[in-house]
Amino acid sequence: MTKLNNIQMVDLQLQYERLKSDIDNGISEVISSAKFINGPTVSNFATNLAKYLNVKHVIPCANGTDALQIALMAAGIEPGDEVITPNFTFIATVEVVALLQAKPVLVDVNPDDFTININELKKLITPKTKAIVPVHLFGQCANMKEIMELAKKHNLLVIEDCAQSIGTDHYWGDKPQKAGTMGDFGCTSFFPSKNLGCYGDGGALYTNDDELASIAKSITNHGSTVKYHHDRIGVNSRLDSIQAAILNVKLKQLDDFNRRRQAAAIFYDHQLGIIEQIETPAKQDFSDHTYHQYTIKVPKGENLKLQAYLKEKGVPAMVYYPIPLHKQKAFEKWTDSREFPVSDELAERVLSLPMHTELKKEELTYICDTIKDYFNGK
Ligand SMILES: *Cc1c(COP(=O)(O)O)cnc(C)c1O
């Protein structure tokens, strides 16, 4: 096999080349208008995204971590409250809970779709529990029907972390609903490598609740709705106009971006599904998958070895996440010495392969053949 040298984990340069003229125009319009902060591009984008998601309110903010923090603040989470989150996720989901001096209650995940284990979750609800933060990990939704039923029964708020799943459909009832629009809040990120990424930092909250929306909006703006009148403690968290201009162009492409990711995933599924040692990503019938990551499982302890082999052959691959939260120093005090066997096992088994909107067939073939060679050589 001839070695391919330019395979990227995420290729944002080629994507920009395809969209260059629209993006460049959007950026220069903002610069000419000099409306850099809270300009019309930002409100346009919020309106466009709300329409796309079929949600009542979209509140842009500075990044996905802020979106989560602002949602918790708007939901009235106070010191000592318990907030249930999965243990296998990006740290931001849990960090903001601790930052507000609430108690993160970590829950192990399902071995197949890596989302929060609802049976385990049930056992951890106490009178102090105020909210659940499910994460729609790698582009696939957690089971929102079960989570919402549980939340209703125990009077809990649900804040969906949909940073990795913008545009994913969840099937529930007669029509699909977008990730992030089923709970009290959805929180997303426009970090460049996300499925809808800008060229810097950005984020947004979604909600169908008018009151929560107005509280969250005021929190993003120093707790203010009328200039220099501050009703509550807030933060300064804005999406800037240049990023909104880029997102306005890219939002129109989001379905196409996600289809391109899905096409690459189908190719991987076919090629890798026949390798005995590999488990390809599980697909749930209640959710689409938009493959923020295409994550395979290999035999225990094999993920780092395969990663090193691939690297030698010019194929980048990443372990998301190598250290589950219960093993992070910062979270030591919140595990109550409970065990998280699934997260522990996943850390030694998962490997995410190159996944983006510009993958060529030649590249996919090379990646799959290289993986086949690795297992054949054993
Ligand atoms: C990226 C990400 C975030 C945080 O988003 P930022 O914009 O980087 O702050 C939160 N949760 C999950 C699951 C993420 O993947």
93 lines ligand 1 (CB under 6 A): yes
The per-residue pLDDT for 175 is: 86
The preferred substitution site among 93, 109, 205, 320 for testing ligand 1, maximizing ligand atoms within 8 Å of CB, is 93
Q: Using a 6 Å cutoff on CB, does residue 237 contact ligand 1?
A: no
- 66-106 per-position pLDDT tens digit: 999 999 999 999 999 999 999 999 999 999 999 999 999 99
pLDDT at 216 (0 to 100): 98
Coil, helix or strand at residue 154: helix
DSSP annotation string for 330-376 = GGGGGSTT---HHHHHHHTTEEEEP--TT--HHHHHHHHHHHHHHHH
pLDDT at 17: 97
Reply yes or no on whether the pLDDT at 2 is more than 90.
no
Asked if 129 and 142 count as a contact pair (C-beta separation under 8 A), the reply is no
The predicted structure's pLDDT at residue 5: 83
| Ligand 1 pocket, residue 164 CB under 6 Å | yes
Once rounded to an integer, what is the mean pLDDT over residues 341-368? 98
Q: Is 115 in the pocket of ligand 1 (CB under 6 A)?
A: no
Sign (positive or negative) of CA dihedral 299, 348, 318, 91? positive
Q: Hey, where are the domains in the chain?
A: 13-251, 254-376
**Which pLDDT value is given to residue 331?**
87
Residues 130-154: pLDDT tens digits? 999 999 999 999 999 999 999 999 9
C-alpha of residue 45 to centroid of ligand 1, in Å: 20
CATH of domain 13-251: 3.40.640.10
pLDDT band at 378; cut points 50, 70, 90: low
pTM above 0.85, yes or no: yes
CATH no., domain 254-376: 3.90.1150.10
pLDDT over 80 at 336, yes or no:
no
Break the chain down into helix, strand, coil percent, rounded to 5.
40, 15, 40
Instruction: State yes or no: pLDDT of 371 exceeds 80.
Output: yes
The response to whether residue 92 sits with its C-beta less than 6 Å from ligand 1 reads: yes
